Structure 1
């Protein structure tokens, strides 16, 4: 089974860069999208393409047009789809969508960024505290859980191109990195690091100063899985040659 997570930074913009031709070539079974920035009613041509590729599709957009939003595309029809998490402000921003299958559940997650200022950083910390408790309760019902998406956090110094100069940057703050470590310690596996311990692997690059060409990036997109799923992991690859966004996709292969 192939599962892709991809912050597309606008599904309409990505579709003009042959996103769907690329997606067809991947032959992915399931796709978690973040920052779709569209309501399904706004994108009938894109919905048609998704269906032509054989996907069931589920969208949880933000109330604010052109902002945030997550989606799940899947060739296996889920038993249940959970839209949102029940926390009003988070659900208004379209940040959590979950599909439940026979023996596991898949979540598309888009964690807030704090880079626009102190107010949003405070909301990011609020989200992190809530998400900890939310996932803790969810795992009592669903032990086999995959949480795929844009966490907007670099976990360790090898996950960012210049850790010293970014020590005070949102996304690499000590409190954020500590949260990520505790989240993993509480029973999750960072699937990419499970297979690859090397530096210089990133999933997001600034549009400024030719950062992508120089590979001056951040690894902020993850497939995290609960530990009972460890034996099912086969491979994880970051796909930097897919250029439809300022992020790139991450591919998880599992039984």
Structure 2
């Protein structure tokens, strides 16, 4: 089974920058996107052979997630409880016979860390939710998680300590999650690989110089780790300030 995750930073804009070329080329079973930045009826994408599930933010031009899948789910769930983060369209869960697929766009704590308390509350709620799902069947959890976990996961670690996405608090939440029975698929397959990132600032030539962060992930239940065949980053694919990431699991 092939999974793709991509923060498209606006699906309407990305459609004009080659989204469908990559979508058709990669031919994934499950294609998850984040930061769709659209409302119901604002975009129609014809994807033959795929079912589409969208979670729109109430605020226009903001947040949002979607999953395009070749496989009809047993159930579909949007959000985790009734809270602000659900209003922002940040999570979709598809249930299948053998696993759950959870697509997430994690709240950014913002440059001045004004949203850090909300972010940490989100992490706690989501961790409980993932653990609850994992007690029933394995999970594949993916998306833009807005954190570089370790120093190896961003180019300029020392100068970014304490900044949004690299605070001790955010990194500790990722460590806690991984310690509770989950595996970072890319780091599991490539434990010492450096200079592999998924997001680059739009500042001048930052992407050309590969000054990036790895903040997009496929995290799986430990029971799935031996089924990981491919965990890769498509850093050559443009169209957003993020690039797509891929997971392949042996069935």
> What interval of TM-score do these two structures reach, taking the shorter chain for normalisation?
over 0.9
TM-superposed CA distance for 1:209, in Å, is 2.4
Maintained 8 Å contact 1:144/1:226:
yes
TM-superposed CA distance for 1:138, in Å, is 2.4
**142, 158, 166: which is aligned to 2:152?**
158
Q: Counterparts of 2:164 and 2:105 in 1: how far apart (Å)?
A: 15
TM-superposed CA distance for 1:41, in Å, is 1.1
1:197-216 maps to which residues of 2 (within 5 A)?
197=191, 198-216=193-211
**169, 172, 181: which is aligned to 1:178?**
172
Residue aligning to 1:58: 53
**Structure 1 pair 221/179, CA: closer, same or farther in 2 (3 Å)?**
same
3-state SS of 2:62 partner: coil
3-state SS of 2:25 partner: helix
* Unaligned 5+ runs, structure 2: none
Maintained 8 Å contact 2:111/2:163:
no
**142, 149, 153: which is aligned to 2:143?**
149
**160, 170, 190: which is aligned to 1:196?**
190
1:8-87 maps to which residues of 2 (within 5 A)?
8-44=8-44, 46=45, 49-50=46-47, 52=48, 54-87=49-82
Q: Counterparts of 1:59 and 1:172 in 2: how far apart (Å)?
A: 29
Give TM-score, length-normalised by structure 2: 0.96
Larger fraction in helix: 1
Residue aligning to 1:220: 215
Maintained 8 Å contact 1:32/1:107:
no
TM-superposed CA distance for 1:128, in Å, is 1.1
Give TM-score, length-normalised by structure 1: 0.95
**What is the Cα-based RMSD across aligned positions, in Å?**
1.1
Residue aligning to 2:244: 249
3-state SS of 1:122 partner: helix
Q: Counterparts of 1:94 and 1:133 in 2: how far apart (Å)?
A: 19
- Once the two structures are superposed, residues 76-124 of structure 1 have per-residue CA deviations (whole angstroms, 9 ceiling, x without a partner) of 1111111111132111011110111111110110100012433222211
**119, 127, 135: which is aligned to 1:140?**
135
* Unaligned 5+ runs, structure 1: none
3-state SS of 1:40 partner: coil
- Once the two structures are superposed, residues 144-186 of structure 1 have per-residue CA deviations (whole angstroms, 9 ceiling, x without a partner) of 1010101100010000100110012110111111111111010
3-state SS of 1:137 partner: helix
Q: Counterparts of 2:131 and 2:25 in 1: how far apart (Å)?
A: 36
TM-superposed CA distance for 1:137, in Å, is 2.2
How many residue pairs get matched?
249
